[in-house]
Amino acid sequence: MIRAIAALMLSPLAGGCVAAAAIPAVAGSMIVKSQMDKKRERRVEVQETAPAQSVDTPEGRVTVIKGMTALPPPSGAPFDGAPAAAAGKAVPETMQYLYGSGESAGLSMQAYRTLADYLTNNIAYRRKETLRQVVMSDGSSLNVPLFEPCGAKPLAIVLDIDETAVLNLGYESDAARRGGGYDDARWQRWEASGVDKVTAVPGAKMALDAARKAGIAVIFNSNRGNANAAATEAALNHAGLGPAKHGETLWLKGDDGGGSGKDDRRWAIASGYCVVAMVGDQLGDFSDLFNDPRMTPAARRAFAATSPVAELWGNGWFLLPNPVYGTGLKGGFDDVFPADTRWSDPAEGVK
């Protein structure tokens, strides 16, 4: 086993990922771990946890590796994946942020507190006859959203489950440890067997308790499979967010004939309830229109930020953070960075 330290000058984000996944490394005895003292000042601390990790130093981001034995072939031949699994304990930054940071916990608390305040201040005291659905009606566009009056229907809020109501810590810890891509069969086994390995998103229990106390039904609309309905009910109970009953307050993929679009289920729910709030971590938790494949990432972001429906954020539509997976994670350089915001370091001349 080679015991060497490789200092790789990499992008601020990619650095850690490289060490974690691409460079074969067996368990080592030392890593150097990042300890940032606020964003622009950084120092280094030693801790025994994982075989490879990136750190920030005054000289930039450095990746320290122990026990490196081989590299992927430069021929471009397929990689067998085993080394990625072996190095899986360096946690991707997106998971550090979502599952490990106080920042994301605060964001979640903020979203759920805003929901609870909204239900108390904007909804509960109003006469039902003055309310409208926050589910967009069939025939809407993002530029011309349509919301039907509620009439005398009972009030409800509709929530996504994964990374909205519960954090899938068991599945994602396994994913971080093993490396490897998304595996639908494994996810199905997770739905069935991971009941007690989820936790509530910070703030969710407080807000759902407040909703139920105010007489507002709590309904889940998830792309978990309806074959695992009982386990999903149990997972919500484990997280303290139940009760949910499949066919009544729990809607799952397959309930409306299949497909991961959620509009049909939303419309079915809205036929019986006045949906006064929706909660999700993906724009598709609010309308399938956001998942139109013809829409560029920039157009999709513009719709979220400036279209008429943008008025609903924090005001009927409530978002939770999730940089770990989902529809937000796409786009090349030109999609993510508008042309008029490009900058080149003047010390190095125009690129």
Q: Does residue 184 bind its own copies (CB under 8 A)? A: yes
Q: What's the closest the beta carbon of residue 248 comes to its own copies, in angstroms?
A: 23
Q: Does residue 350 bind its own copies (CB under 8 A)? A: no
Q: Based on the number of CB atoms within 10 Å of its own CB, is 198 exposed (0-12), middle (13-18) or buried (19 or more)? A: buried
Interaction with its own copies in 89-108: which residues (CB under 8 A)?
A: 89-108
Part of the chain binding its own copies (CB under 8 A), chosen from 61-69, 130-138, 150-158, 211-219? 61-69
Query: CA gyration radius for the chain?
Result: 23
Interaction with its own copies in 199-218: which residues (CB under 8 A)?
A: 199, 202-203
Q: Does residue 190 bind its own copies (CB under 8 A)? A: yes
CB 304 within 8 A of CB 317: no
* 145 versus 180: smaller Cβ distance to its own copies: 180
Q: Does residue 301 bind its own copies (CB under 8 A)? A: yes
Candidate residues 126, 189, 212, 213; the one interacting with its own copies per rule CB under 8 A = 189
Q: Does residue 35 bind its own copies (CB under 8 A)? A: yes
Interaction with its own copies in 133-172: which residues (CB under 8 A)?
A: 162, 169-172
Part of the chain binding its own copies (CB under 8 A), chosen from 133-141, 227-235, 269-277, 303-311? 303-311
Q: Does residue 344 bind its own copies (CB under 8 A)? A: yes
Q: What's the closest the beta carbon of residue 82 comes to its own copies, in angstroms?
A: 9
Candidate residues 150, 165, 283, 289; the one interacting with its own copies per rule CB under 8 A = 283
Q: Does residue 52 bind its own copies (CB under 8 A)? A: no
Q: What's the closest the beta carbon of residue 219 comes to its own copies, in angstroms?
A: 18
Q: Does residue 313 bind its own copies (CB under 8 A)? A: yes
Q: What's the closest the beta carbon of residue 183 comes to its own copies, in angstroms?
A: 6
Part of the chain binding its own copies (CB under 8 A), chosen from 146-154, 228-236, 263-271, 309-317? 309-317
* 133 versus 221: smaller Cβ distance to its own copies: 221
* 128 versus 297: smaller Cβ distance to its own copies: 297
Q: Does residue 231 bind its own copies (CB under 8 A)? A: no
Q: Does residue 79 bind its own copies (CB under 8 A)? A: yes
Q: Does residue 267 bind its own copies (CB under 8 A)? A: no
Q: Which residues, at least 6 apart from 310, have a Cβ–Cβ distance to it below 8 Å?
A: 303, 304
Q: Does residue 31 bind its own copies (CB under 8 A)? A: yes
Q: What's the closest the beta carbon of residue 138 comes to its own copies, in angstroms?
A: 19
Candidate residues 111, 217, 250, 277; the one interacting with its own copies per rule CB under 8 A = 111
Part of the chain binding its own copies (CB under 8 A), chosen from 145-153, 229-237, 270-278, 301-309? 301-309
CB 24 within 8 A of CB 67: no
Residue 54: closest CA among 42, 39, 69: 42
SS3 sequence of the chain: CCCCCCCCCCCCCHHHHHHHHHCCECCCCCEEEEEEECCCEEEEEEECCCCEEEEEECCEEEEEECCECCCCCCCCCCCCCHHHHHCCCCCCHHHHHHHHCHHHHHHHHHHHHHHHHHHHHHHCCCCHHHCECCCCCCCCCCCCCCCCECCCCCEEEEECCECCCEECHHHHHHHHHHCCCCCHHHHHHHHHHCCCCCEECCCHHHHHHHHHHCCCEEEEEEEEEHHHHHHHHHHHHHCCCCCCCECCCEEEECCCCCCCCCHHHHHHHHHHCEEEEEEECCHHHCCHHHHCCCCCHHHHHHHHHHCHHHHHECCCEEECCCCCCCCCCCCCHHHHCCHHHCCCCHHHCCC
